[in-house]
Amino acid sequence: TIVEEKEIEFEANDNKLDDNVDQDKPKSLVELHRETLNKEKNQPKPSSSTDDNNSVMKKLDKKKVQEAARQLAERERQAEEMGNIDERKRKYNSLKSRISEHKEPTEEELEAYRLK
């Protein structure tokens, strides 16, 4: 009977080890992906995008947006003119880029581009 009790204890320990192995086993990428999707579904969604757009427009100065839109139109007009000019008649280095023009666009310029 002592042997039977030892066998029962041994089987119980094996079952506990199997449970621990299942918990310690790394999850597959698919399982991880499904868990993250479920977490995202459970999280409340932020306010509507129209509210965000209105708050952005309130923050931006309308005059600056109009000025950026005018500059954007001017750049497009110049690019169109350069495309129409005969290559033989254009000035030297006329296509050369200016370093001062290569800067990150401001919020006003981005909004003017979106409105266009």
Q: Sorting pLDDT into bands at 50, 70 and 90, what band is 37?
A: confident
pLDDT for the residue numbered 73: 92
Full domain range(s) for residue 79: 60-86+93-115
Percent of the chain with pLDDT over 90: 3
pLDDT for the residue numbered 36: 86
Pair (8, 37) in one structural domain: yes
Domain-embedded: residue 49: no
Structural domains of the chain, count? 2
The reported pTM is 0.39
Pair (27, 68) in one structural domain: no
Q: Tens digits of per-residue pLDDT, 41-93?
A: 777 666 555 556 666 556 778 888 888 889 999 988 988 888 887 777 777 77
Q: State phi, psi for 37 to the nearest 5 degrees.
A: -65, -40
